[in-house]
Amino acid sequence: MKPDFNKQLELLAPAGNAAAALAAFDAGADAVYAGLVRFNARERSENFDAGTLGGVIEYAHRQGRRVYVTLNTVIKEGELADVAGYLSQLSGLAPDAVIVQDLGVVRMLREYFPQLNIHASTQMGIHNSAGMATAARLGVSRVIVERQVTLDELRDMVPKSPVDVEMFVHGSLCCSLSGQCLFSSWHGGSSGNRGQCKQPCRRRFYSGQGNGFFFSAQDLCMIEHLDEIRSLGVKSLKIEGRLRQPDYVKNVVSAYRLMLDTPKGSPGYGKRLGEARNLLSHSCGRKWSLGFYTKESAETLVNFDSLGASGMLCGRVEESQPNGFLFTATKRIQLDDRLRVQPQSGDEGPAFTVTKMFVRDRSCSAVRPGEKVFVCCDKGMPYGGLVFKIGETSGDYSARIAALPRPRTRLDLNIEVRRDKLTVKAANTPLPAWEKEWELTPAERHPLNAETLQGVFREADSVVFGAGEIEAVINGQFFVPAGVLKNVRREFWAYIKENLQPDQVSAGDTCKRFIDDYRNAVIPAKQSYPETVATVTKGDAPGSRDAVRAIGVYDVNKFTTEAILPEFCPENRLHSLAGAIAAAYERGVRRFRTPALYGLELLRGYKGIQITAGGNLPVANSMAVTELQRLGVDKVLGHIELEAASLKALAAHSPLPVELYRLGRPVLLITRAKIPVNGEFRDSRGNEFIAEYDRRDGLTRVLPKKAVSVPRLPDLIDFYDLTRAGWRNGETSEFNFNSELQ
């Protein structure tokens, strides 16, 4: 049994497949997060089919554990119907929450699937208390906070948060601010915002200041800081790694479970810390760090002369043949281990499971350090490539996966309480309503409420049926003893088990209702807007006298007609930013542009203003626009990654005017880490970039050397970004405009 001091702190583990989920629960995880095949930020992971995921959810719930499902990618307009189908499927599986990035999915969940809890993905980029307040307005119950906030900032933010807070404690780190990376997308349309990241940040780059791995961050490891984290008041500690195998999950979860159950100063703390570190040493990751949680760690997080591959270095390819490769092992290797061979360029290398190997022409099951081994493989291996062990054999989970319980059939319940009678109708079944006569007394205090009633009936006394969506109506103020409620619940579920078969339960029509509402939506005539030109003080001026002149909120001058909020505002700068907004308003500025959710909170209460949202806040579908409209937004910037067809579809269905990013140098990567290059650099394929460090905010931004320039689209408003470009830019790029975004 866990000690009392640990009761409220959740240990959350990754599950890229069912075996990893079982390994996590075996090792002591309180919850896992997993994804279906599409619409999650790790689409390269094995992921789950609906049946297996349902079995894992049912298994977890019987163990008193939780499962959160990821649907945390940017959604195009043409994908909304598919997403509705996914959400309908998830509703039947009853996960404990859905992890979401796209505001359109947030709206669909809240309006059509309210029984599903919403967690804001780290991809939503929430990094201050104003963003947390906006999340609460969205109906979010938990925020997975941006990984680049510091512990000191968390200490200030968490007590102000109206929602629960989850933070990462272990695993790989992206160099960029979450949800604000276009680096992979720029390299060929494989978007990190859509689960297709090709990790170009791990590659070798070249500059006049030297060559190296300029953006490859070390791994996060907070195993020695759990007591400090506990004092922050966060609710959940998250381990990264849905691309990892069960051995990684088992070792890392075991280590953190051990130390969560052994607070600093307790007997045996030092010995257990050594055991935990030994477990982590088998997890085959990169060098450990404190990530962005301290300023000192952020200074050294990127080691430019170290290859950014993860795993345990085991040797170097000495000979490559069509059926395998030869190398001298520096670590023990055995059958069923996972290896990756990494080219010196830092490009992603092939990974595979060892199924056959030879030492001195004799087949073997294990290799000791110092032995030359030929590993059989049908993938071409680069000569000189570094061999990394990225996973160890962890046993066979196939029998346990096959024995997972079947998901329960969900019944949607309509419950009505009257003074003399309780009525429960299973709405998606042919059964008549079940009734229970009783005589309730008026409540002097603590009257029965809908939430309590729903919670009681959600505990279904059945392994075949479970509660789906529950609507509860209470006609009056009544006192109902807890024992009475439990008894009537048992009687109701006994009635269900005696009179209902699973095949009599109809699928919900929520998905159809969404599609009907979507098709029948009336798109209002859009207000006409002039083009907007974002500028800097000494940059090019707008070409049209009628253009809206947008400038950073701290640099507002007499020519300003729109003030732009920063894409990132640490907690300790919120007050000064609020002051800058107030000063701009006093000067007569009535247009504001926010590239992040937190800005919507800071702009609340101002009368007569117009708000444009977009940029680093990706707007890719009409449901997201509708949600932003509800929060006071008047115009949106279409997501810059989108191709022309998706932008046209967005504009056609949007209830608000949509801007098109016509010209500019978009920020491809933005980070608080200290980057070992400033100025121009290139990759091995000849792509050229510019790194700019800004002393005012302490951020480094990576820009393409080629500016983006795309043709005008009908029904979209022109937006020109001259903050890092001019009207004349030499050779330009159309980004993904004429090729489909993956």
Positive or negative torsion for Cα 621, 627, 629, 633: negative
List the single range of 142-156, 331-345, 484-498, 669-683 with lowest mean pLDDT.
Answer: 331-345
d(CA 72, CA 618): 12
Strands of 278-385 (E only): list them: 288-289, 312-316, 319-321, 324-328, 333-334, 338-342, 351-353, 357-359, 362-364, 366-367, 372-376
What are the structure tokens assigned to 591, written together? 């247009």
Q: Which element (helix H / strand E) includes 648?
A: helix 644-653
Find the CATH number of the domain harbouring 128: 3.20.20.70
Does the pLDDT of residue 3 top 70, yes or no?
no
pLDDT at 431 over 60: yes
Q: What is the pLDDT of residue 45?
A: 59
- The domain that holds 383 is classified in CATH as 2.40.30.10
- Same domain for 172 and 288, yes or no, is yes
Classify residue 115: in a domain, yes or no: yes
Does residue 379 have a pLDDT over 90? no
Closest CA to 632 of 654, 604, 655: 604
Confidence of residue 2 (pLDDT cuts 50, 70, 90): very low
The pLDDT tens digits of the residues spanning 677-732 come to: 999 999 988 999 999 999 999 999 999 999 999 999 999 999 999 999 999 999 99
- What's the number of domains the chain is made of? 4
Mean pLDDT of the chain: 92
Distance, CA of 411 to chain centre: 30
Q: What is the pLDDT of residues 15-49, one digit of tens each?
A: 999 999 999 999 999 999 999 888 776 655 567 88
Say yes or no: 469 and 389 in one domain. Answer: no
What number of residues does the chain have?
742
546: helix, strand or coil: coil
565 occurs within a structural domain: yes
Q: Which two tokens stand for residue 638?
A: 């279409």
User: How far is Cα 427 from Cα 407, in angstroms, rounded to an integer?
Assistant: 19
Q: Does the residue 721 lie in any domain?
A: yes
pLDDT in tens, 385-403: 999 888 887 778 999 999 9
- Burial degree of 159 (CB within 10 A; 0-12, 13-18, 19+): exposed
Per-residue model confidence (pLDDT) at position 231? 94
Does some domain include residue 249? yes
Please indicate, yes or no, whether the overall pTM of this predicted structure exceeds 0.75.
Answer: yes
- In this prediction, residue 577 has a pLDDT band, given cuts at 50, 70 and 90, of very high
Identify whether residues 632 and 540 lie together within a single domain.
Answer: yes
The verdict on residue 563 lying in a domain is yes
Residues 384 and 331 in one domain: yes
Q: Sign of the C-alpha dihedral, residues 133, 138, 141, 146? A: negative
Same domain, 357 and 279: no
Alpha-carbon distance of 298 to 305, in angstroms, equals 16
Alpha helices in 113-237 (DSSP H): 129-138, 151-157, 183-186, 226-230
Three-class SS of residue 462?
Answer: coil
* 425 and 389 belong to one structural domain: no
Determine, yes or no, domain membership for 419: yes
Helix/strand/coil percent split, the chain, to 5: 30, 25, 45
pLDDT of 440-452, one tens digit each? Answer: 999 988 899 999 9
Do 292 and 328 share a structural domain?
no
Task: Show the tokens assigned to 42.
Answer: 């790790």
Q: Is residue 187 part of a domain?
A: no
Per-residue pLDDT band for 308 (boundaries 50, 70, 90) equals: low
Final residue in a domain of this structure, among 280, 300, 320: 300
Q: How far apart are CA 714 and CA 311, in angstroms?
A: 50
* DSSP letter string, 264-301: TTSTTHHHHHHHHHHHHHTS----EE-TTSSHHHHHHS
> How far is Cα 168 from Cα 30, in angstroms, rounded to an integer?
15
Q: Measuring CA to CA, which residue among 45, 95, 29, 101 is closest to residue 68?
A: 95
Residue 356, domain extent: 312-401
The string of DSSP letters for 566-616 reads PS---GGGHHHHHHHHHHHHHTT--EEEESSTHHHHHTTT-TT-EEEE-TT
* One-letter amino acid of 220: L
Predicted pLDDT at 148: 97
Cβ count within 10 A of residue 4:
7
DSSP, collapsed to helix, strand or coil, labels residue 184 as helix
Q: Is the domain of 252 the same as that of 170?
A: yes
Beta bridge partners of 441: 479
Mark whether 536 and 555 lie in a shared domain.
Answer: yes
Residues 567 and 579: their CA atoms lie apart, in Å, by: 17
pLDDT in tens, 533-558: 999 988 999 999 999 999 999 999 99
| Domain end marker among 300, 334, 361 | 300
**Are residues 320 and 281 both part of a single domain?**
no
**How large is the average pLDDT for residues 642-656?**
97
The one-letter code for the residue type at 396 is D
Boundary (domain end) residue, out of 338, 372, 401: 401
Q: Is residue 381 located within the same domain as residue 417?
A: no
27 and 115 fall within a common domain: yes
Quick one: CA torsion of 22, 23, 25, 30, rounded to 10 degrees? -120
Q: Identify whether 204 is part of a domain.
A: no
